[in-house]
Amino acid sequence: MENTAVAKKTNRVLQEDMQNIFQNLTAAEKDKLRNSTILITGCGGFLGYYFMHFFATFAEELQLKKVIALENFLTGTKDWLAELIDSKPDVFSLHEFNVITDDVAAIPEAADADVIMHLASIASPTFYRIYPIETVDANITGLRRLLDFYAGKSVKAFLFFSSSEIYGDPFPEFIPTKEDYRGNVATIGPRACYDEAKRFGETLCYLFAQKHNMPIGVARPFNNYGPGMNINDKRLPADFAKAVVEGRDLEIFSDGTPTRTFCYISDAITGYLKVMLHGSFDVFNIGMDKPELSVREYAELFNQHGREIFDYQGQIKFQEPEDKEYLTDNPNRRCPDISKAREVLGYNPTVSVEKGIGRFLEFLKINEGKLL
């Protein structure tokens, strides 16, 4: 599976996003990152793309000791990652590593890491259904191995990426959805491997935080999109971006009425860093709380910006999915209540969905829409 084009150092969109993330962190949050040794699993994925570029951009200013990057390359090679590692060999070390089976103790300097970020997981429904057991194991077995290794060590921050999918398909009275909603989730079905693994992963984090006093932050992402997203990812924003780049029609595999809010990547990364640097166990929704758009409305925004940026001439079409289980247990609505993150973390997403889609397509245009 191929990734998006390498983000050249001159890519204006990426560099502006890096600056915005940095500026939206408080002095205290930046101080906590200073002189850190960071271990990040799943560094080659969508979120890893922005975290890795962020650490590369501000390695000197934050006086980072080391960034230990772990990736199993299950979904393909990441040439951008090799290029980034090579650009700062004194800061980055990259290791092919399977969190499910490999021993983190065997990684040089891993024992010195004091900021741990567990991103390793498949997040696309298409691909976690191809690798369901691996998806479960990354979020449970892999997480447990990391928690066991770092329990009792001097850790400043430990970040676990959960998901808004832990809420399942909320009843209407629980939308916007708060962190204390317990969920309406199927334990058996095509999405259960991801949803239930994330739920149990949260339980593990809670137990280790209690027993070992570990400063674990749990982030629940809501529909991120933007530069660095693999346009072969098969999630909605990736599908629409890929269609625009290739000049194909925008295909919707539903009646277009399911609704979502969408959070641009720089706002999301800012939120995740704030969760990580909070300093004590807690769980936070991270996303954009408005507007809640239908799939059809979202497609129309890609159509509009595609015409402006790529001279896109495609149309919006409704298609029957080839995968008959594509919509099984698919939530009808997804909208977070982010008041807790606003009040406790000072989280304030500002990039509108209209602007974010434009930035995503501009990023691809600057890179000439190429795939590696």
The residues carrying an active-site annotation are 194
Helices (H), 213-235: none
What is the C-alpha radius of gyration for the chain, rounded to an integer number of angstroms?
19
Tell me, what amino acid is at 299? Answer: A
DSSP string, 295-328: HHHHHHHHHHHHHHHH-----EEE---SSTTTTT
Query: Sign of torsion, CA 73 77 78 82?
Result: positive
DSSP H or E run through 294: strand 293-294
Per-residue CA distances from 356 to 120, 133, 268, 272, 302 (Å)? 25, 34, 12, 18, 10
The tally of CA atoms less than 13 A away on the side-chain side of residue 307 is 9
Q: Which two tokens stand for residue 298?
A: 């979202």
The tally of CA atoms less than 13 A away on the side-chain side of residue 355 is 11
Exposure of 178 by Cβ count < 10 A (0-12 exposed, 13-18 middle, 19+ buried)? middle
Helices (H), 213-264: 236-246
Per-residue CA distances from 24 to 16, 219, 265, 274 (Å)? 12, 18, 13, 9
